[in-house]
Structure 1
Amino acid sequence: MLPTDQAGRPDEKTAYRAQLLYFAAPPGPDVDDGSTVYVPDGLLIVEHGRIVQLGDYAALSPGLEGLPVVDWRGKLIVPGFIDTHVHYPQTDIIASPAPGLLSWLDTYTFPAERRFEDPAYAADVARFFLDELLRSGTTTALVYCTVHPGSADAFFAESHARNVRMVAGKVLMDRNCPGYLQDTAESGARDSEALIQRWHGQGRQMYGLTPRFAPTSTPAQLALCGELAQRYPDVFIQSHVAENTQEVAWAMALFPGHRSYLDIYDQFGLLRPRAVYGHCIWLDEHDRRRMGEAGALAAHCPTSNLFLGSGLFDFAAAEASRMPVALASDVGGGTSLSMLQTMAAAHNVARMNGHHLSGHSLFYLATEGAARGLDLGGRIGTLAPGAEADFIVLDPQATPLLARRTARAESLEEVLFALIMLGDDRAVAAAYSAGRLLHARDGSPARGQ
């Protein structure tokens, strides 16, 4: 654990000295186009959980007047990572072998989720899961719980205690699943509304309506979900779409008369700002355009798509259609909670389709780009003054190989790219949420310093 003088004091004004990096706009081919804000020797000043000022150390230091300074020189402060699609109940089944998505659900996922009917078990997994997110530098995530309302209560209680900004929701699933995980259209809507009223806007917690995917919900359930989405326009919606071809065919058979799998959600009023759909691999041009028009976000899950053999996300087509995209771990189908490893996989998937993603672009997708896609721009994903002080400290010397490579870097792009391709949770020296140190690499997570 870091000593108090390195942890900062969340309710007092504290300065952090390090390299500073965030994004003012999507990076273009020219990394010097003004989209990137980079201060080689900077000060980040935080007070009452928010960023109040940042700039060059030489310019700001004369006015410090006894202000505590946390010294992170040699390291890089960036906004906390945002994971736009992850399943906390699948923590214990990560890296489970299966020939494909649907068999993986039946063999591992559904039996694992049954255990969340026990509130004590759910609370234990929630604690471990949040520790692991913070260890990986993720300070905000869109989290699937299970069909049990208590699984959402357990997650939100732990998240609220740490004062981290999270979006989560109880899964809705009233058919095509084991009976022990099945709700009804009415009970699912009733439970979801009660959870919205209990947790949405409670501190930094936000609710997400969570139909697992169209094949496990009846039209009645999706219709009631759409009514809730209209009644509570500031809550999130999260589900899966077009992950693999077998799933697409199944959805179309269950919902005849729809133009596409995505159109099922659209016709039930579930395509709008703050709607986030995992995968989006097997969409056509019309679907991608419709996502952009509706302001819905595609959560690209590269490690999961590779692990389950679902397909390769088409970045070029997404850009051409102006479909908003962010990155996601999708654990347990995904193989790592590290957004650095997720970025590396996204780069490799894009290259397989002949598309290049720079280090700048990948960091943007995991920070400012995700925040904008979630309608949370200016609040998280940035170091700009006024934002919530969710930031992480990255160590370019975290491992011998990373240190050797970054010592030879001739540009910021090379440093970022090396962190992506060679980094993991070891590269995260510290994670702060609302100005509080919640994880330090050299010790157990520190809560509430």
Structure 2
Amino acid sequence: MSTVTAADVQAAAARLFGRIAATPAEAAPRLSELAGCEVFLKLENQQHTGSFKERGALNKLLSLSEAERAAGVIAMSAGNHAQAVACHAARLGIKATIVMPSFTPFTKVERTESYGARVVLEGETLSDAAAFAQEMAAREGLVFVHPYDDAHVIAGQGTVALEFLEQVPDLDALVVPVGGGGLIAGMAVAAKAVKPDIRVIGVECALYPSMRQAVRGEPIVCSGVTIAEGIAVKAPGGLTKALVEQHVEDILLASEEALESAVFRMVTVQKLVAEGAGAAALAAVLAEPGRFQGKRVGLVVSGGNIDARLLAQVLMRGLVLEGRIVRLRIALTDAPGALAKATRILGEAGANIVEVYHQRLFHDVPVKMAEIDVILETRDRTHVQAIVDRLAAGGFPTELMVDVS
């Protein structure tokens, strides 16, 4: 296939039926209140390997001839595509090799190997690993399974839109994360065939706006560390770019702050775990409420494979931003009973003390004074101000610090 049509997506849906989970589409009333529009979530994070990548990978594998299956497949990925190819190749009895960059975290390597794939660590960058995988495919006669720029992969990803519009037929817009473009290209083709007036809008992380730059004819400039590594792609596909140009209305950019906040909102408001890329659609909608006001908007939660330590950091930082965890620096006389009096005021004000740092030597304070840094759990910023005022009234000048580090 030199392009992808709605018929190709329909064929992929028939091929995948019973082999891939039909993921839920759920209304999100509390997120809707925040966004000013009716939000519906397509939960691709509920797939077996935690992302939409299974659809395209399996559709590609099912399209192979007997000779190609016997030869085996190879893919390059540091994340979701690796697990999707490894998982479904094993189910089909196809030997799979996954090339991962040398910096890939051990947990991802182990998870990919657990599906039975041979993992080869090669290259200092994704580009290095991709070049090595192509060379290895040619040398060993393996079928290369591209993560996005492949017609069968694109058609498989497009089945997300068919399911979504069957579950929620009257959507006004679809908002879709964009990396290499496989997901949005397939979804746009399918969605426009089912509902020609639907708007399909992509979201890239602001540090990696490669698809937006490509379709606008601008130089591609991408760099930096992002929480949305799943869509941190420097080179969009040629096939995907052509389909995006034809079917996608706009591509929005999400800042790192917006992406982090969206991951936090998914967990705390919707009780869902989404990786940075999986929360990108929500990040864009929350950042530009006027664009979607009053509309019925479908957001694709494309994946949920976020590192547990990173998720913990995001949650704690979110609580800090909301004023639910704060650090106060309290000045007190270096005398018996002063600390007890200050902590009693904190307790009476309804604050929960998490940690206390009592400092006499290293802060710039008079010799007969001391300072304590207190990390507290509070209700919100209004509660924090009330605590500060109460301490000041009790004779303890207090400063709200900017973080809890």
Q: TM-score, normalised by structure 1?
A: 0.27
RCO higher in 1 or 2 (8 Å CA, sep ≥ 6)? 1
Rg larger in 1 or in 2?
2
Q: TM-score, normalised by structure 2?
A: 0.29
Q: Which has the higher helix share?
A: 2
